[in-house]
Amino acid sequence: MLILGIDTSCDDTSAAVLEGRKILSNVVSSQVEIHKKYGGIVPELASRRHIEMIWPVVSEALDKASVTLKDIEGIAVCNGPGLIGSLLVGVCFAKATGYASKIPFIGINHLEGHILSAMLGDETPGFPFLCLVVSGGHTSLYRVDGFGQYRELGRTRDDAAGEAYDKVAKLLGLGYPGGPYIDRLAQEGDPSWVEFPRPYLHGSFDFSFSGLKTAVKNYVESLGKVDHRSVAHICASFQASVVDVLIKKTLSAARRERISNVSLSGGVAANRELRRRMKELENREGIRVFLPPRHLCTDNAAMIAIAGHHRLARGERSDITLTARAVLPV
C-alpha cells in the first residue's frame, strides 16, 4: 500500500511516501532560518510558511519516490497536537487532495507518529515495548501493547526536555534550536563541573525540567562573565542531569512493567549522549534499546505515514469533518 504522509504540526513542513514499512521518500523543509532571529517559533509565521511550502514539499516527496498522486492509495495527515494554524494547513491540504482525488485519508496523532517511528528502523521492537518520547513539546513515557494500544505512564509536569535544552541554550547565547548546540558543546565539557539538580519525582514516572532550567540560569548569573570553556562545562553538566533523569525513569518503568524492549523518539532522542547512555543499558540491564536513525527522531512525515499505514490497513478512515486539534491525547 502506497501511503502519502504529511506533518505540519509545528515549524517543519514534511511529506513522505511509504510502501508498507519502506520509506521511498521523506522530505522535511525546515523553517529554522525564519524563526531563529526570534529565538523561538512564531506561530503566525509558521502557518504562512506551511501554506507556501505544502505543495512543493509534497511534489518533491512524490518525485523522489518516483510516483504520482494517482499511485497513492492513502493519505495520513497529522491533525494534532501542535500549533493550530500550522496543523490546519496539512489537514486542509490532505482533505482537499483526498476528496478531489478519491484517496482515503486519516488523521494521525503526532505522538502516535513518534511512538511508531520505532517501526521504521531495520530492527523493530516486539510488543510490548516502552517508548520515551522526548521532544520540544512533549516528554512522556508510553507502554505500547500493540498498534493503537498506548498507555501513558508519565509525562512532564512543566517544561519538555527539548524546551529545557532550548531555554538553556538561549540563556547561554547559543543558537536556535538549542538542542544540537548543547549536544555539540557538551562533548568538550566536563559533566561533573556543576552538580545541577536531578528532578527524579520519586514514586511517579512524571518529569519536571523547569527547576533545572532555573538552576542553570541562577548559576550562569552568579558567574557574571562566561567564557567558551565554562559554557561547554555548563552544557555538559546540564545535559548530564537531563540524561540521568531520562535514563533512570525509563529504566524503573521498564522494571515495574517487566518490559525488556525500549525505544526512543522525538527531537531530543537525536542527542548523542542520551543515545550512548541508553545503549549502555543493553549490556548492563539486559534491555533491548531501539534507536531510530537521528533524522527519524525529529519531526518528519514518515512517522505519520507508518501510523497511517496501520490504521488504513485496518479499514479506519477519516471523513471531511476531520479537523485540527491543538490538544489531542494519544
CB of 270 to Zn ion, least distance (A): 11
Q: Within 10 Å of residue 39's Cβ, how many Cβ atoms?
A: 15
CB of 193 to ligand KG4, least distance (A): 19
Is the Cβ–Cβ distance between 34 and 47 less than 8 Å? no
Task: Out of 7, 163, 183, 299, point to the residue binding Zn ion (CB under 5 A).
Answer: 299
Task: Out of 240, 270, 291, 307, point to the residue binding ligand KG4 (CB under 6 A).
Answer: 270
Beta strands 105-109 and 74-80 are parallel
- Asked if residue 135 binds Zn ion (CB under 5 A), the reply is yes
Binding region for Zn ion (CB under 5 A) out of 42-50, 160-168, 294-302, 322-330: 294-302
- Asked if residue 166 binds Zn ion (CB under 5 A), the reply is no
Binding region for ligand KG4 (CB under 6 A) out of 171-179, 187-195, 220-228, 254-262: 171-179
Q: Which residues are CB-contacts of 176 (< 8 A; sequence separation ≥ 6)?
A: 32, 35, 36, 39, 40, 166, 169, 170
DSSP E strands, 192-279: 261-265
Residue position matching grid coordinates 520505532: 118
Nearest CA to 299 out of 3, 15, 4 is that of 15
CB of 266 to Zn ion, least distance (A): 6
Nearest CA to 301 out of 28, 20, 21, 19 is that of 28
Distance separating alpha carbons of residues 73 and 85, to the nearest angstrom = 27
Residue nearest to Zn ion (CB): 135
Residue 165 contact among Zn ion, ligand KG4, none, beta carbon within 5 to 8 Å by kind = ligand KG4
- Asked if residue 191 binds ligand KG4 (CB under 6 A), the reply is no
Residue position matching grid coordinates 516502552: 130
- Asked if residue 271 binds ligand KG4 (CB under 6 A), the reply is yes
Which amino acid, 105? F
Binding-residue pattern over the window 280 to 319 for ligand KG4, x denoting contact by CB under 6 A: ------------------xx--------------------
CA-CA-CA-CA torsion sign (318, 319, 324, 328): negative
Residue 308 contact among Zn ion, ligand KG4, none, beta carbon within 5 to 8 Å by kind = none
How is residue 173 written as a grid cell?
547565547
- Asked if residue 113 binds ligand KG4 (CB under 6 A), the reply is no
Residue position matching grid coordinates 485496518: 314
Residue 10 or 54: which CB sits closer to ligand KG4? 10
Binding region for Zn ion (CB under 5 A) out of 172-180, 188-196, 283-291, 296-304: 296-304
Q: Which residues are CB-contacts of 152 (< 8 A; sequence separation ≥ 6)?
A: 140, 141, 142, 330
- Asked if residue 165 binds ligand KG4 (CB under 6 A), the reply is yes
- Asked if residue 7 binds Zn ion (CB under 5 A), the reply is no
Residue 271 contact among ligand KG4, Zn ion, none, beta carbon within 5 to 8 Å by kind = ligand KG4
DSSP E strands, the chain: 2-7, 13-19, 22-29, 74-80, 105-109, 129-134, 139-146, 149-155, 261-265, 288-290
Is the Cβ–Cβ distance between 293 and 270 less than 8 Å? no
CB of 2 to ligand KG4, least distance (A): 25
Q: Which residues bind ligand KG4 (CB under 6 A)?
A: 10, 135-137, 162, 165-166, 177-180, 183, 266-268, 270-271, 298-299
Q: Which residues bind Zn ion (CB under 5 A)?
A: 135, 299
